[in-house]
């Protein structure tokens, strides 16, 4: 009888493990495309936590459902269940295992975090000292200016401004984030990176795009009335295309870009909403070399 019970439990654990591994593997599909080196690391950690989480969730609910099916009281059975008040061994086990799990998860998350912060494009090819120098030289430096409710990107080496963020693929990007009014948030879901921009602080931020394409940058910290409109296109392109774009943009004369918040605000001035609730006026549409 005892051996049978142990076999049943082992079978249940094996099944749970198998199903959890499957769910953890499919977790990659719940996320956007992996367009930055950081996204690979984050997704692996996410898949790992989904696997563990699924195992715990299925274990707990499985036990509950088993009890609900097999331990129902008969209709006229007014007797009590066995007066089990605890089990020291069991209680120690289910305290120690979670503590170990916590340290495992925290340690792994820490490793991922450290890697995200130092990861350079050619780290495997150089010694550490060399790497630091080459990475610093190789970084593409861009200034990001946020305001209610517009993004402006400035390429200091060429003195170009744009409302579209162009980035070279496979190169570490160094951003200097600033805000002119309230707290905004810099967030590109496909890159899995996010950083609040605190007014009066210049915040340095780095990542490495690895996949060409068009992505979306959004404001991730609530910034007032037209918060939802504060988005920008992100274009990741080959080194060659990127250079061409820089040269093309440098030739353009600065002009006012279209700005969704300013557009909606002007419309409201002409046709006020019935509610009559006021809003902070948006900053005037940015004047930039490149916009579409």
Partner 1 sequence: MKIDDFKKINIEVERLHYDRLEKEPGRDWKRYFTFSTDHKVIGIQYLVTAFFFFLVGGIFAMIIRAELITPASDLVDRTVYNGMFTMHGTIMLFLWTFPSLVGLANYLVPIQIGAEDMAFPRLNAAAFWLVPVVAILTIAGFFVPGGSAQAGWWSYPPVSTQNPTGFLINGQFLWILAIFVSGISSIMGAVNFVTTIFRMRAPGMTLFRMPIFVWTVLSAQIIQLFGLPALTAGSVMLMCDLTVGTTFFDPALGGDAVLFQHFFWFYSHPAVYVIILPIFGIFSEIFPVYSRKPLFGYHVVAISSIIIAAVSALVWVHHMYASGTANWMRLVFMISTMCVSVPTGIKVFAWLGTIWRGKLRFNTAMLFALGGLVMFVFAGITGIMLAAVPIDIHVNNTYFVVGHFHYVLYGTVTMGMFAAIYHWFPKMTGRMYNEGWGQIHFWLTFLGTNLNFFPMHSLGLHGMLRRVASYAPEYMFSNVLASLGGFLLGMSTLPFIFNIIISWIDGEKAGNNPWRAIGLEWLVASPPPIENFDEIPIVISEPYGYGKSEPLTLDRPFIEVETIEKITLATTDNQVEINNN
Torsion, Cα 222 225 228 234, to 10 degrees, reads -80
Please tell me whether residue 84 binds partner 1 under the rule CB under 8 A. yes
Least CB distance to partner 1 at residue 137 (A): 24
DSSP string, 16-30: HHHHHHHHHHHGGGG
Least CB distance to partner 1 at residue 164 (A): 16
Residue spans of alpha helices (H) in 75-166 = 88-118, 128-138
Which of 112, 132, 169, 176: binder of partner 1 (CB under 8 A)? 112
Which of 163, 208, 220, 289: binder of partner 1 (CB under 8 A)? 220
- Region of 225 (left: φ > 0; alpha: ψ -120 to 50; beta: rest) is alpha
The number of residues that bind partner 1 (CB under 8 A) is: 87
Please tell me whether residue 42 binds partner 1 under the rule CB under 8 A. yes
Please tell me whether residue 207 binds partner 1 under the rule CB under 8 A. no
Which of 83, 128, 159, 271: binder of partner 1 (CB under 8 A)? 83
**Nearer to partner 1 among residue 134 and residue 229 (C-beta):** 229
State the Cα–Cα distance between residues 150 and 184, nearest whole angstrom: 10
The stretch among 128-136, 138-146, 150-158, 225-233 that binds partner 1 (CB under 8 A) is 225-233
Furthest C-alpha separation in the chain? 88
Q: How far is CA 274 from the centre of its chain?
A: 38
What is the footprint of partner 1 within residues 121-180 (CB under 8 A)? none
What is the footprint of partner 1 within residues 85-104 (CB under 8 A)? 85-87, 90-91, 94-95, 98-99, 102
**Nearer to partner 1 among residue 56 and residue 130 (C-beta):** 56
The stretch among 67-75, 155-163, 234-242, 251-259 that binds partner 1 (CB under 8 A) is 67-75
**Nearer to partner 1 among residue 107 and residue 254 (C-beta):** 107
Q: Residue 137: in which H helix or E strand, if any?
A: helix 128-138
Please tell me whether residue 8 binds partner 1 under the rule CB under 8 A. no
Measured between alpha carbons, how far is residue 290 from residues 86, 153, 161, 180 in Å? 70, 10, 6, 21
State the Cα–Cα distance between residues 181 and 140, nearest whole angstrom: 26
Count CB neighbours of 32 within 10 A: 14
Q: Tokens 């550490």 correspond to what residue? A: 128
Please tell me whether residue 182 binds partner 1 under the rule CB under 8 A. yes
Least CB distance to partner 1 at residue 253 (A): 31
């Amino acid at each position: 009888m005892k051996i049978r019970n142990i076999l049943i439990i082992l079978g249940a654990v094996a099944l749970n493990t198998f199903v959890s591994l499957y769910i953890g593997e499919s977790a990659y599909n719940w996320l956007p495309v992996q367009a930055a080196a950081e996204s690979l690391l984050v997704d692996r950690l996410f898949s790992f936590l989904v696997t563990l989480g699924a195992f715990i969730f299925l274990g707990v609910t499985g036990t509950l459902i088993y009890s609900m099916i097999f331990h129902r009281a008969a209709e006229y059975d007014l007797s009590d269940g066995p007066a089990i008040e605890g089990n020291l061994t069991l209680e120690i086990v289910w305290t120690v295992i979670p503590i170990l799990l916590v340290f495992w998860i925290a340690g792994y998350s820490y490793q991922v975090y450290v890697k995200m912060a130092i990861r350079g494009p050619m780290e495997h090819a150089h010694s550490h000292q060399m790497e630091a120098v080459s990475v610093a030289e190789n970084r593409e430096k861009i200034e990001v200016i946020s305001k209610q409710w517009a993004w402006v990107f400035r390429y200091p080496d060429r003195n170009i401004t744009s409302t579209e963020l162009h980035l070279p693929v496979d190169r570490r990007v160094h951003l200097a984030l600033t805000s002119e009014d309230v707290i905004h948030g810099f967030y590109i879901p496909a890159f899995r990176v996010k950083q609040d921009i605190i007014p009066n602080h210049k915040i340095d931020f780095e990542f490495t795009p690895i996949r060409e394409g068009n992505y979306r940058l959004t404001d991730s910290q609530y910034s007032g009335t037209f918060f939802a409109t504060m988005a920008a296109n992100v274009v990741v392109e080959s080194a060659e295309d990127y250079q061409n774009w820089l040269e093309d943009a440098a030739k353009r004369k600065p002009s006012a870009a279209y700005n969704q918040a300013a557009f909606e605000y002007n419309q409201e001035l002409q046709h006020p909403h019935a509610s009559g609730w006021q809003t902070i006026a948006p900053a005037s549409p940015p004047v930039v070399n490149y916009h579409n």
